[in-house]
Chains A and B, each alone.
Chain A
Amino acid sequence: MKNPLPRILLVLGLLAGLTSVSAADGKLMITMMPKAKGNAYFITCKVGADKAAKELGVELLFDGPTDSNAAKQNEIVENWITLGVDVITVAAENKEGLSTALRKAQKQGIKVITYDADALPDARSFFVNQATPQGIAWGLLDEAARLCGSEGEFAIITATLTAGNQREWLKLIDERLAAKYPKMKLVAVRPSDDLKDKAQSEATALMSANPNLKVIVAICTPGTPGAAEAVKQAGKVGQVKVIGLGLPNENKRYVHEGVTESVMLWNTSDLGYLTVYAAVALARDELKPGAKTFQAGSLGSFEIRGDNILLGQPFIFNKGNIDQFDF
């Protein structure tokens, strides 16, 4: 018989309302922590993760803070260490803060994988990387080029002018634009401050100031429905096309109305699926540092670059497939 302590603690955890799983005999215990528990994005991650856990016959424990709270994440990791789980997978709210707790877990023999948002490299074995900056930037620009026939004016709506991710994407877009699409002209980059309504005002002004505008690219998720509403209200559906990053539910109506051509994001359910597969392979010693590829059940093979397992190219939602996603 194994040490009964983890079992007792698990029961205590159940009583405290912390967990919702039943104790399992001999099964691997995989945990998954989102940045925030009720966030639609992470709930779809869990859908894929549950599917993988079922296929692999492991227990999946899904828990996290109710809002994005770095301190609460630490607390939950500490609980999991006491519980003696086999693998911890986590989307880190705060890189440095969480890494201390994760290192402690590793010292206790618990394997650690990050997904969606990385911790420091020495605090985890692998990071399941949902999309490379190049994948996002080039994906959006190529889609914009396809829509305007690689020539004409387009504009970008960004989050804030100082947002790190967006600046990196803008740089990559600029480089590829010069190299590959010399006939396309980026007329303006406008900030939306991550507000849908401001994005709408910005898009309205962009259209009246640039009558030949063909495409508006929103590189932050609130920007995409905001720009679409502006195009619709300006009566320029078909003349100005909208693409951007975004969640399917926020953009469905515009995609069906033909205002928004396509919305790009990674497939979050696949992200959860891949993370659990990687976690189990790591626990079973099937996934080792230095591996170049990784097989994840029904999704097939994934590339590993360094210690990043790449989910691959971003996913494009359009009229044909957007109704299959609910997040």
Chain B
Amino acid sequence: MKRYFREISVTLALGLVLLGLAGFAPAFYQPQPLLSLATREAPTLVVACGMVLVIICRQIDISVGSQFSVCSVCAALLAARGWPLAMVVPASAALGALLGAVNGVLVAGLRLPSIVVTLATMVTLRQGLNLVRQGAFVNLPDSVQWFGLSQAAGQWTLVGAALALLVAFGLAMRHLAAGRWVYAVGTDAEAARLAGIRPQLVTFLVFVLLGALTGLAATMNLVQSPQVQPMVGAGLELKVIAAVVVGGVAISGGRGNLWGAFAGLLLLACVSPALTHLHIEAYWEKAIQGAIILLAVVADGVRQRKQKF
């Protein structure tokens, strides 16, 4: 109970928000808008799965938004040239993995701080994309939206896929040796090395994995509308990192899990539509999201102090 205090408290907060909405804005609970909301958040959840691993490993990647944009535009251009989705999706994931590998090599290989490395790749990728694309939308063939299925079928497919990935990663992190290695490296890299784990390899691989998931998420977003804006994914890194931190994953590494991050994501994703339903001015949106993050960070700080003394 005490061990999972953070996860439980986030889930409780989410429950309170949902209860409050049921009382004050029952119109929030309509199947179609809710399914739309879930579908819009599905790609974010997939990126969050990768981010949980990177942060548990005591690293951070703030270039995911730019990676997402680059993968989206490349995947869209391939789809527009007539590539079938069955090839576009792996190609986008591979491109994402490659971008992640660049971060991974710089962080794990050269031992550079990940915040600086990914800040550099974030800016480089974003500006490079602007330079090449000049902000022009990419129009997609009609067969791309919802994989050519009906809208409802496409939406359920995306939500289902994201949830399946969440469960798979959640179980793997707990039960597979590779999952435990990530915790070990994040807790104490030197101790992990003495225990026979190769910390630099694990660090490299979590960056690659996050990149691949980001590339996959880009295609999950791609199939939701008939055109892609190159700005897509701007600010995604903040959204994802916020969800992960609110969900109880310690930014200092070694602690947290995917279920908490999932609850954190849902909580933050509810803020904007909840304000619209409660007819509260949009100015509050970022303030409330900020307050939630602050609360989470303070809770972590208090807990750490208690452990020390």
- Tell me the A residues contacting B by CB distance below 8 Å: 36, 38-40, 66-67, 161, 187-191, 193-197, 200-202, 204-209, 211, 222, 225, 229-230, 233-235, 249-250, 253
| B: contact size bracket | 35 or more
B40 adjacent to A201 (CB under 8 Å): yes
Q: For chain B residues 84-115, which have a beta carbon within 8 Å of chain A?
A: none
* A-B pairs with lowest CB-CB distance, top 4: A208-B33, A205-B273, A205-B276, A38-B134
Chain A positions within 8 Å of B28 at CB level: 208-209
Q: List 14 A-B contacts (CB under 8 A).
A: A40-B136, A190-B276, A190-B282, A196-B227, A196-B231, A197-B221, A197-B232, A201-B40, A208-B33, A208-B273, A209-B28, A225-B137, A225-B227, A234-B33
The reply to whether the CB of B77 lies closer than 8 angstroms to some CB of chain A is: no
B33 adjacent to A191 (CB under 8 Å): no
- Could you mark each residue 208-250 of chain B with 1 if its beta carbon is under 8 Å from any beta carbon of chain A, else 0? 0000000000000100111101011011000000000000000
- A29 to chain B minimum Cβ distance, whole angstroms, is 27
The reply to whether the CB of B167 lies closer than 8 angstroms to some CB of chain A is: no
State in angstroms the CA–CA spacing of A208 and B277 once bound together.
8
- Tell me the B residues contacting A by CB distance below 8 Å: 25, 27-28, 30, 32-33, 36-37, 40, 127, 130-131, 134-137, 139, 151, 221, 224-227, 229, 231-232, 234-235, 272-273, 276-277, 279, 282-283, 285
- A134 to chain B minimum Cβ distance, whole angstroms, is 24
State in angstroms the CA–CA spacing of A292 and B151 once bound together.
56
B232 adjacent to A188 (CB under 8 Å): no
A209 adjacent to B27 (CB under 8 Å): yes
State in angstroms the CA–CA spacing of A189 and B273 once bound together.
13
- B265 to chain A minimum Cβ distance, whole angstroms, is 14
Chain B positions within 8 Å of A249 at CB level: 137, 139
- Contact for A209 among B25, B37, B151, B221, CB less than 8 A: B25
Chain A positions within 8 Å of B231 at CB level: 194-196, 222
For residue A225, which residue of chain B has the nearest CB? B227
A205 adjacent to B134 (CB under 8 Å): no
B134 adjacent to A187 (CB under 8 Å): no
